Amino acid sequence: MQAVGTEDTGPERVVRRLLHRSGYRYTLHAKHLPGRPDILFPRRKKAIFVNGCFWHCHGCKKGQPPKSRLEYWGPKLKANCERDCIKRAQLEALGWSVMTVWQCETREPASLARRLAAFIDGQRRRRQPR
pLDDT band at 5 (very low <50, low <70, confident <90, very high): low
pLDDT at 127 over 80: no
Taking the C-alpha atoms of residue 99 and residue 97, their distance in angstroms, rounded to an integer, is 7
pTM of the complete model beyond 0.75: yes
Residue 30 CB neighbour total at 10 angstroms: 17
Per-residue pLDDT reduced to its tens digit, 98-124: 999 999 999 999 999 999 999 999 865
Query: pLDDT digits over 43-70, tens only?
Result: 999 999 999 999 898 988 888 888 899 8
Spell out the domains of the chain, with CATH numbers in brackets.
13-46+53-119 (3.40.960.10)
CA 113 to CA 87: how far, in whole Å? Answer: 25
